[in-house]
Protein backbone atom coordinates (compact mmCIF):
# COMPACT_ATOMS: atom_id res chain seq x y z
CA UNK A 1 0.00 0.00 0.00
CA UNK A 2 1.41 3.40 -0.95
CA UNK A 3 1.45 5.58 2.07
CA UNK A 4 3.52 8.24 3.66
CA UNK A 5 3.22 9.83 7.00
CA UNK A 6 3.77 12.96 8.98
CA UNK A 7 4.24 13.03 12.67
CA UNK A 8 4.88 15.65 15.31
CA UNK A 9 6.27 13.24 17.86
CA UNK A 10 9.86 12.06 17.80
CA UNK A 11 9.06 8.44 18.54
CA UNK A 12 7.53 6.36 15.76
CA UNK A 13 3.93 5.25 16.22
CA UNK A 14 3.94 2.43 18.76
CA UNK A 15 2.87 -0.96 17.44
CA UNK A 16 0.11 -1.23 19.98
CA UNK A 17 -3.01 0.88 19.58
CA UNK A 18 -2.89 4.05 21.58
CA UNK A 19 -6.65 4.52 21.68
CA UNK A 20 -7.76 6.43 24.73
CA UNK A 21 -4.41 8.18 25.29
CA UNK A 22 -3.46 11.70 24.30
CA UNK A 23 -1.62 10.48 21.24
CA UNK A 24 -3.72 10.78 18.10
CA UNK A 25 -3.27 8.36 15.28
CA UNK A 26 -5.03 9.60 12.16
CA UNK A 27 -5.44 8.22 8.65
CA UNK A 28 -6.07 10.80 5.97
CA UNK A 29 -7.58 10.08 2.61
CA UNK A 30 -7.03 13.39 0.76
CA UNK A 31 -8.80 11.86 -2.25
CA UNK A 32 -9.60 13.54 -5.53
CA UNK A 33 -9.68 17.02 -7.05
CA UNK A 34 -9.31 19.71 -4.42
CA UNK A 35 -9.40 17.16 -1.57
CA UNK A 36 -5.60 17.21 -1.08
CA UNK A 37 -5.48 21.02 -0.97
CA UNK A 38 -8.09 21.35 1.76
CA UNK A 39 -6.67 18.40 3.69
CA UNK A 40 -3.27 20.10 3.77
CA UNK A 41 -4.79 23.20 5.39
CA UNK A 42 -6.69 21.14 7.95
CA UNK A 43 -3.44 19.35 8.88
CA UNK A 44 -1.62 22.64 9.18
CA UNK A 45 -4.22 23.76 11.70
CA UNK A 46 -4.07 20.43 13.55
CA UNK A 47 -0.33 20.87 13.90
CA UNK A 48 -0.79 24.35 15.40
CA UNK A 49 -3.30 23.34 18.07
CA UNK A 50 -1.43 20.14 18.83
CA UNK A 51 1.65 22.20 19.65
CA UNK A 52 -0.31 24.45 21.99
CA UNK A 53 -2.26 21.68 23.70
CA UNK A 54 0.54 19.14 23.85
CA UNK A 55 -1.05 16.49 21.64
CA UNK A 56 1.30 14.19 19.82
CA UNK A 57 -0.11 12.92 16.57
CA UNK A 58 0.74 10.69 13.69
CA UNK A 59 -0.86 11.01 10.27
CA UNK A 60 -0.77 8.26 7.71
CA UNK A 61 -1.76 9.43 4.24
CA UNK A 62 -3.57 6.98 2.00
CA UNK A 63 -3.71 7.53 -1.74
CA UNK A 64 -7.20 6.08 -2.15
CA UNK A 65 -9.49 7.71 -4.68
CA UNK A 66 -10.06 8.15 -8.38
CA UNK A 67 -6.47 8.26 -9.62
CA UNK A 68 -5.49 5.13 -7.79
CA UNK A 69 -8.63 3.38 -8.99
CA UNK A 70 -7.88 4.30 -12.62
CA UNK A 71 -4.30 3.10 -12.21
CA UNK A 72 -4.91 -0.14 -10.33
CA UNK A 73 -8.64 -0.93 -10.52
CA UNK A 74 -8.65 -1.03 -6.76
CA UNK A 75 -10.64 1.27 -4.49
CA UNK A 76 -9.92 0.00 -0.98
CA UNK A 77 -6.78 -2.12 -1.03
CA UNK A 78 -6.58 -5.44 0.81
CA UNK A 79 -6.12 -4.85 4.51
CA UNK A 80 -7.30 -1.26 4.15
CA UNK A 81 -10.28 -1.54 6.47
CA UNK A 82 -8.20 -3.14 9.20
CA UNK A 83 -5.63 -0.41 8.83
CA UNK A 84 -8.37 2.17 9.39
CA UNK A 85 -9.74 0.23 12.36
CA UNK A 86 -6.34 0.60 14.04
CA UNK A 87 -6.56 4.42 13.90
CA UNK A 88 -8.17 6.89 16.28
CA UNK A 89 -9.84 8.76 13.44
CA UNK A 90 -10.04 9.15 9.68
CA UNK A 91 -9.93 12.44 7.80
CA UNK A 92 -11.37 12.42 4.29
CA UNK A 93 -10.72 15.29 1.85
CA UNK A 94 -13.06 14.63 -1.08
CA UNK A 95 -13.87 11.93 -3.57
CA UNK A 96 -15.21 12.14 -7.12
CA UNK A 97 -13.20 11.94 -10.32
CA UNK A 98 -14.35 13.20 -13.74
CA UNK A 99 -13.06 10.05 -15.45
CA UNK A 100 -14.74 7.61 -13.07
CA UNK A 101 -18.44 6.83 -13.59
CA UNK A 102 -20.76 8.33 -10.98
CA UNK A 103 -21.42 6.00 -8.08
CA UNK A 104 -18.25 3.92 -8.34
CA UNK A 105 -16.18 5.88 -5.82
CA UNK A 106 -19.19 7.06 -3.83
CA UNK A 107 -20.31 3.50 -3.20
CA UNK A 108 -16.91 1.83 -3.30
CA UNK A 109 -15.15 4.22 -0.96
CA UNK A 110 -17.34 6.64 0.99
CA UNK A 111 -20.39 4.43 1.58
CA UNK A 112 -18.22 1.34 1.98
CA UNK A 113 -16.31 3.01 4.81
CA UNK A 114 -19.47 4.31 6.48
CA UNK A 115 -21.04 0.83 6.35
CA UNK A 116 -18.06 -1.41 7.07
CA UNK A 117 -16.86 0.76 9.92
CA UNK A 118 -20.49 0.99 11.12
CA UNK A 119 -20.38 4.77 11.32
CA UNK A 120 -24.06 4.93 12.08
CA UNK A 121 -24.28 8.63 12.92
CA UNK A 122 -23.77 11.35 10.35
CA UNK A 123 -23.49 14.53 12.36
CA UNK A 124 -23.90 17.78 10.44
CA UNK A 125 -23.94 21.06 12.32
CA UNK A 126 -25.74 23.94 10.61
CA UNK A 127 -24.16 27.01 12.13
CA UNK A 128 -23.90 30.39 10.46
CA UNK A 129 -20.53 31.87 11.37
CA UNK A 130 -19.90 35.60 11.74
CA UNK A 131 -19.36 37.41 8.45
CA UNK A 132 -20.73 34.51 6.40
CA UNK A 133 -23.51 35.26 3.96
CA UNK A 134 -26.67 33.17 4.10
CA UNK A 135 -29.27 33.20 1.32
CA UNK A 136 -31.93 33.79 4.00
CA UNK A 137 -32.80 37.49 3.99
CA UNK A 138 -32.53 39.23 7.33
CA UNK A 139 -31.02 36.25 9.15
CA UNK A 140 -27.74 36.17 11.06
CA UNK A 141 -25.68 33.84 13.26
CA UNK A 142 -28.18 34.10 16.13
CA UNK A 143 -30.89 32.55 13.93
CA UNK A 144 -29.04 29.66 12.33
CA UNK A 145 -27.50 27.26 14.82
CA UNK A 146 -28.85 23.75 14.81
CA UNK A 147 -27.57 20.23 14.24
CA UNK A 148 -28.79 17.45 11.98
CA UNK A 149 -28.23 13.86 13.10
CA UNK A 150 -28.58 11.69 10.03
CA UNK A 151 -28.78 7.89 10.30
CA UNK A 152 -25.87 6.68 8.18
CA UNK A 153 -26.11 2.93 7.48
CA UNK A 154 -29.66 2.03 6.37
CA UNK A 155 -32.63 3.25 4.33
CA UNK A 156 -32.35 3.55 0.54
CA UNK A 157 -28.58 3.58 0.93
CA UNK A 158 -28.35 -0.12 1.78
CA UNK A 159 -27.99 -1.00 -1.90
CA UNK A 160 -30.72 -3.64 -1.96
CA UNK A 161 -32.63 -3.90 -5.21
CA UNK A 162 -32.36 -5.03 -8.77
CA UNK A 163 -33.67 -4.98 -12.29
CA UNK A 164 -36.12 -7.17 -14.07
CA UNK A 165 -36.18 -7.22 -17.88
CA UNK A 166 -33.46 -4.63 -17.98
CA UNK A 167 -33.19 -2.57 -21.17
CA UNK A 168 -36.57 -3.70 -22.44
CA UNK A 169 -39.79 -1.70 -22.57
CA UNK A 170 -41.04 -3.85 -19.66
CA UNK A 171 -38.13 -3.02 -17.40
CA UNK A 172 -38.76 -3.01 -13.66
CA UNK A 173 -36.32 -1.49 -11.15
CA UNK A 174 -36.61 -2.10 -7.43
CA UNK A 175 -34.69 -0.06 -4.84
CA UNK A 176 -35.47 -1.06 -1.29
CA UNK A 177 -35.37 1.06 1.82
CA UNK A 178 -34.44 -1.02 4.84
CA UNK A 179 -35.00 0.12 8.40
CA UNK A 180 -34.18 -1.96 11.44
CA UNK A 181 -35.23 -1.39 15.04
CA UNK A 182 -31.59 -1.64 16.08
CA UNK A 183 -30.35 0.80 13.45
CA UNK A 184 -33.09 3.27 14.21
CA UNK A 185 -32.92 2.99 17.99
CA UNK A 186 -29.18 3.49 18.31
CA UNK A 187 -29.38 6.59 16.16
CA UNK A 188 -32.39 8.03 17.97
CA UNK A 189 -30.85 7.32 21.39
CA UNK A 190 -27.58 8.96 20.35
CA UNK A 191 -29.54 12.01 19.17
CA UNK A 192 -31.35 12.27 22.51
CA UNK A 193 -28.04 12.04 24.37
CA UNK A 194 -26.55 14.65 22.09
CA UNK A 195 -29.49 17.03 22.58
CA UNK A 196 -29.21 16.61 26.33
CA UNK A 197 -25.48 17.35 26.30
CA UNK A 198 -25.81 20.26 23.91
CA UNK A 199 -28.24 21.66 26.46
CA UNK A 200 -29.32 24.63 24.36
CA UNK A 201 -32.18 26.78 25.71
CA UNK A 202 -34.52 25.03 23.27
CA UNK A 203 -33.33 21.53 24.22
CA UNK A 204 -35.58 20.01 21.57
CA UNK A 205 -35.12 16.95 19.40
CA UNK A 206 -37.23 17.00 16.22
CA UNK A 207 -37.86 13.78 14.35
CA UNK A 208 -38.02 14.42 10.60
CA UNK A 209 -39.65 11.65 8.55
CA UNK A 210 -42.69 10.99 6.39
CA UNK A 211 -45.03 8.97 8.59
CA UNK A 212 -48.09 9.89 6.51
CA UNK A 213 -46.79 7.98 3.48
CA UNK A 214 -44.01 5.63 4.60
CA UNK A 215 -46.39 3.88 6.94
CA UNK A 216 -44.10 0.90 7.62
CA UNK A 217 -40.53 2.12 7.81
CA UNK A 218 -41.27 5.50 9.28
CA UNK A 219 -43.86 4.02 11.61
CA UNK A 220 -40.95 2.06 13.06
CA UNK A 221 -39.03 5.33 13.43
CA UNK A 222 -42.02 7.05 15.02
CA UNK A 223 -42.61 4.29 17.58
CA UNK A 224 -38.92 4.03 18.39
CA UNK A 225 -38.68 7.80 18.84
CA UNK A 226 -41.65 7.78 21.26
CA UNK A 227 -40.19 4.85 23.23
CA UNK A 228 -36.72 6.32 23.60
CA UNK A 229 -38.15 9.75 24.45
CA UNK A 230 -39.48 8.31 27.72
CA UNK A 231 -35.87 7.93 28.89
CA UNK A 232 -35.21 11.65 28.28
CA UNK A 233 -37.97 13.58 30.05
CA UNK A 234 -35.73 16.68 30.10
CA UNK A 235 -35.57 16.82 26.28
CA UNK A 236 -38.57 18.30 24.47
CA UNK A 237 -39.65 16.45 21.34
CA UNK A 238 -41.20 17.53 18.09
CA UNK A 239 -42.05 15.98 14.74
CA UNK A 240 -41.95 17.39 11.18
CA UNK A 241 -42.72 15.72 7.89
CA UNK A 242 -39.65 16.13 5.71
CA UNK A 243 -41.36 18.36 3.15
CA UNK A 244 -42.59 20.71 5.86
CA UNK A 245 -39.13 20.63 7.45
CA UNK A 246 -37.69 22.06 4.21
CA UNK A 247 -40.07 24.98 4.51
CA UNK A 248 -39.41 25.54 8.22
CA UNK A 249 -35.65 25.39 7.79
CA UNK A 250 -35.96 28.34 5.43
CA UNK A 251 -38.75 30.21 7.22
CA UNK A 252 -37.88 29.59 10.90
CA UNK A 253 -34.39 28.12 11.19
CA UNK A 254 -34.20 29.50 14.71
CA UNK A 255 -36.91 27.06 15.82
CA UNK A 256 -34.58 24.07 15.46
CA UNK A 257 -32.13 22.69 17.98
CA UNK A 258 -31.38 19.09 16.97
CA UNK A 259 -33.02 17.15 14.14
CA UNK A 260 -32.82 13.37 13.86
CA UNK A 261 -33.70 11.79 10.53
CA UNK A 262 -33.29 8.87 8.16
CA UNK A 263 -30.36 8.47 5.79
CA UNK A 264 -31.98 9.62 2.52
CA UNK A 265 -33.90 12.53 3.97
CA UNK A 266 -30.82 13.45 5.97
CA UNK A 267 -28.77 13.59 2.80
CA UNK A 268 -31.22 16.05 1.28
CA UNK A 269 -31.90 18.33 4.22
CA UNK A 270 -28.21 18.58 5.12
CA UNK A 271 -27.52 20.13 1.72
CA UNK A 272 -30.28 22.62 2.46
CA UNK A 273 -28.67 23.17 5.85
CA UNK A 274 -25.29 23.52 4.15
CA UNK A 275 -26.42 26.41 2.01
CA UNK A 276 -28.15 28.13 4.93
CA UNK A 277 -24.80 28.22 6.71
CA UNK A 278 -22.95 29.63 3.73
CA UNK A 279 -22.42 26.68 1.41
CA UNK A 280 -19.99 23.86 0.82
CA UNK A 281 -17.02 26.08 1.57
CA UNK A 282 -17.87 25.92 5.26
CA UNK A 283 -20.11 22.86 5.84
CA UNK A 284 -18.50 19.91 7.60
CA UNK A 285 -19.69 16.57 8.86
CA UNK A 286 -18.71 13.62 10.97
CA UNK A 287 -19.42 9.96 10.32
CA UNK A 288 -19.38 8.56 13.81
CA UNK A 289 -19.11 5.10 15.20
CA UNK A 290 -19.61 6.08 18.84
CA UNK A 291 -19.24 2.52 20.13
CA UNK A 292 -16.26 1.33 22.15
CA UNK A 293 -13.38 0.78 19.74
CA UNK A 294 -15.25 2.37 16.83
CA UNK A 295 -13.41 4.60 14.41
CA UNK A 296 -15.04 7.74 13.02
CA UNK A 297 -14.45 9.71 9.84
CA UNK A 298 -14.53 13.47 9.40
CA UNK A 299 -15.02 15.29 6.12
CA UNK A 300 -15.88 18.59 4.52
CA UNK A 301 -19.34 18.12 3.01
CA UNK A 302 -18.45 19.40 -0.43
CA UNK A 303 -17.18 17.34 -3.34
CA UNK A 304 -13.88 17.25 -5.18
CA UNK A 305 -14.62 20.40 -7.25
CA UNK A 306 -12.41 19.26 -10.19
CA UNK A 307 -12.50 22.63 -11.96
CA UNK A 308 -10.72 24.28 -9.02
CA UNK A 309 -8.05 21.62 -8.63
CA UNK A 310 -4.55 22.96 -8.08
CA UNK A 311 -5.60 26.61 -8.37
CA UNK A 312 -5.30 27.52 -4.67
CA UNK A 313 -8.86 28.81 -4.88
CA UNK A 314 -10.96 26.29 -2.97
CA UNK A 315 -12.20 27.23 0.49
CA UNK A 316 -10.46 25.13 3.18
CA UNK A 317 -12.76 26.31 6.01
CA UNK A 318 -15.07 23.28 5.73
CA UNK A 319 -12.08 20.95 6.04
CA UNK A 320 -10.73 22.96 8.97
CA UNK A 321 -14.16 22.74 10.62
CA UNK A 322 -14.09 18.97 10.04
CA UNK A 323 -10.71 18.85 11.79
CA UNK A 324 -12.24 20.70 14.74
CA UNK A 325 -14.94 18.03 14.88
CA UNK A 326 -12.29 15.31 14.73
CA UNK A 327 -10.56 16.78 17.74
CA UNK A 328 -13.78 17.24 19.66
CA UNK A 329 -14.83 13.64 19.08
CA UNK A 330 -11.48 12.14 19.95
CA UNK A 331 -11.37 13.73 23.39
CA UNK A 332 -9.67 17.02 22.49
CA UNK A 333 -12.63 19.35 22.83
CA UNK A 334 -10.44 22.23 23.95
CA UNK A 335 -8.35 22.04 20.79
CA UNK A 336 -11.49 21.75 18.66
CA UNK A 337 -12.89 24.86 20.33
CA UNK A 338 -9.66 26.74 19.63
CA UNK A 339 -10.13 26.04 15.95
CA UNK A 340 -13.80 27.05 16.11
CA UNK A 341 -12.90 30.41 17.65
CA UNK A 342 -10.13 31.04 15.14
CA UNK A 343 -12.36 30.15 12.18
CA UNK A 344 -15.11 32.47 13.46
CA UNK A 345 -12.52 35.22 13.77
CA UNK A 346 -11.30 34.69 10.21
CA UNK A 347 -14.76 34.48 8.62
CA UNK A 348 -15.86 37.47 10.66
CA UNK A 349 -12.93 39.74 9.89
CA UNK A 350 -10.92 38.62 6.90
CA UNK A 351 -12.88 36.81 4.19
CA UNK A 352 -14.86 38.47 1.41
CA UNK A 353 -16.90 35.40 0.58
CA UNK A 354 -16.95 31.67 1.25
CA UNK A 355 -17.14 30.81 -2.46
CA UNK A 356 -14.13 29.31 -4.23
CA UNK A 357 -12.08 31.96 -5.98
CA UNK A 358 -13.92 34.80 -4.25
CA UNK A 359 -12.55 34.62 -0.73
CA UNK A 360 -10.15 37.53 -1.15
CA UNK A 361 -7.36 35.04 -0.37
CA UNK A 362 -6.06 31.75 -1.68
CA UNK A 363 -6.63 28.36 -0.08
CA UNK A 364 -3.25 28.36 1.69
CA UNK A 365 -3.67 31.97 2.81
CA UNK A 366 -6.99 31.18 4.48
CA UNK A 367 -5.25 28.30 6.28
CA UNK A 368 -2.53 30.75 7.33
CA UNK A 369 -5.13 33.21 8.64
CA UNK A 370 -6.69 30.52 10.83
CA UNK A 371 -3.24 29.54 12.04
CA UNK A 372 -2.43 33.15 12.85
CA UNK A 373 -5.71 33.55 14.75
CA UNK A 374 -4.97 30.44 16.83
CA UNK A 375 -1.50 31.65 17.69
CA UNK A 376 -2.58 35.23 18.34
CA UNK A 377 -5.24 34.08 20.80
CA UNK A 378 -2.71 31.92 22.59
CA UNK A 379 -0.22 34.79 22.77
CA UNK A 380 -2.94 37.03 24.27
CA UNK A 381 -3.88 34.40 26.86
CA UNK A 382 -0.27 33.90 27.86
CA UNK A 383 0.16 37.60 28.52
CA UNK A 384 -2.78 37.74 30.92
Please report, as ranges, the residues that interact with Mn ion according to CB under 5 A: 267
| Contacted by 110, from Mn ion, ligand IPM, none: CB < 5 to 8 Å by type | ligand IPM
Q: How far is the CB of 301 from Mn ion (least distance, A)?
A: 7
Q: Is 90 an interacting residue with respect to ligand IPM (CB under 6 A)?
A: no
Classify 384 as helix, strand or coil.
coil
Q: How far is CA 376 from the centre of its chain?
A: 28
Smaller CB separation from ligand IPM, 110 or 369: 110
Q: Is 112 an interacting residue with respect to ligand IPM (CB under 6 A)?
A: no
Task: Count CA atoms closer than 13 A to 204's CA, side-chain side.
Answer: 15
- E-assigned strands of the chain? 3-7, 23-31, 56-62, 89-94, 121-127, 145-151, 161-164, 172-175, 204-209, 236-241, 258-261, 284-288, 296-300
Q: Is 106 an interacting residue with respect to ligand IPM (CB under 6 A)?
A: yes
Q: How far is the CB of 271 from Mn ion (least distance, A)?
A: 6
Smaller CB separation from Mn ion, 185 or 267: 267
Q: How far is CA 208 from the centre of its chain?
A: 19
Smaller CB separation from ligand IPM, 96 or 253: 96
Smaller CB separation from Mn ion, 281 or 367: 281
| Contacted by 178, from Mn ion, ligand IPM, none: CB < 5 to 8 Å by type | none
Measured from each CB, the residue nearest to ligand IPM is 106
Classify 149 as helix, strand or coil.
strand
CA atoms of 206 and 323, how far apart (whole Å):
27
Count of H helices and E strands in the chain?
12, 13
Choice from 29, 48, 62, 110 touching ligand IPM (CB under 6 A): 110
Which of positions 260-279 make contact with ligand IPM (CB under 6 A)?
267
**Burial class of residue 52, CB neighbours in 10 A (0-12, 13-18, 19+):** middle
Stretch that binds ligand IPM, among 105-113, 248-256, 316-324, 357-365 (CB under 6 A): 105-113
Smaller CB separation from ligand IPM, 110 or 339: 110
List C-alpha distances in Å: 350 to 117, 229, 289, 368. Answer: 38, 43, 35, 12
Smaller CB separation from ligand IPM, 245 or 373: 245
CA atoms of 367 and 39, how far apart (whole Å):
10
Smaller CB separation from ligand IPM, 184 or 373: 184
Give the list of residues 6+ apart from residue 31 with CB closer than 8 angstroms, or none.
Answer: 39, 64, 65, 66, 92, 93, 94, 95, 109, 304
Q: How far is the CB of 69 from ligand IPM (least distance, A)?
A: 15
Smaller CB separation from Mn ion, 285 or 367: 285
Q: How far is the CB of 358 from ligand IPM (least distance, A)?
A: 23
Stretch that binds ligand IPM, among 10-18, 106-114, 139-147, 240-248 (CB under 6 A): 106-114
CA atoms of 292 and 316, how far apart (whole Å):
31
Q: How far is the CB of 14 from ligand IPM (least distance, A)?
A: 33
Give the list of residues 6+ apart from residue 61 with CB closer than 8 angstroms, or none.
Answer: 3, 4, 5, 6, 27, 28, 30
Asked whether 26 and 58 are in contact (CB, 8 A), the reply is: yes
Q: How far is CA 75 from the centre of its chain?
A: 21
| Contacted by 118, from ligand IPM, Mn ion, none: CB < 5 to 8 Å by type | none
Q: How far is the CB of 21 from ligand IPM (least distance, A)?
A: 30
CA atoms of 129 and 344, how far apart (whole Å):
6
Q: How far is the CB of 355 from ligand IPM (least distance, A)?
A: 19
Smaller CB separation from Mn ion, 34 or 330: 34
Q: How far is the CB of 195 from ligand IPM (least distance, A)?
A: 22
Give the list of residues 6+ apart from residue 15 with CB closer than 8 angstroms, or none.
Answer: none
Per CB under 6 A, residues contacting ligand IPM are: 106, 110-111, 267
Amino acid sequence: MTANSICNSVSPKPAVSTKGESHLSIATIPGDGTGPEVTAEALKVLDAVAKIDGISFHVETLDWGGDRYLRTGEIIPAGGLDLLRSKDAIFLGAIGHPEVAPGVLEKGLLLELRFKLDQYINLRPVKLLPGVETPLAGRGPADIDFVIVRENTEDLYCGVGGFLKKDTPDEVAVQQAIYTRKGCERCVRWAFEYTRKRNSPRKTLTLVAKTNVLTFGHDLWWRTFQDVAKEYPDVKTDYNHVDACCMWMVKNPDAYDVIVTTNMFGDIITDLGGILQGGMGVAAGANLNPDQGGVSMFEPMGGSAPKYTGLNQINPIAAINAMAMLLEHTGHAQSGARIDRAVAHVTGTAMKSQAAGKMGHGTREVGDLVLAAINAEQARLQKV
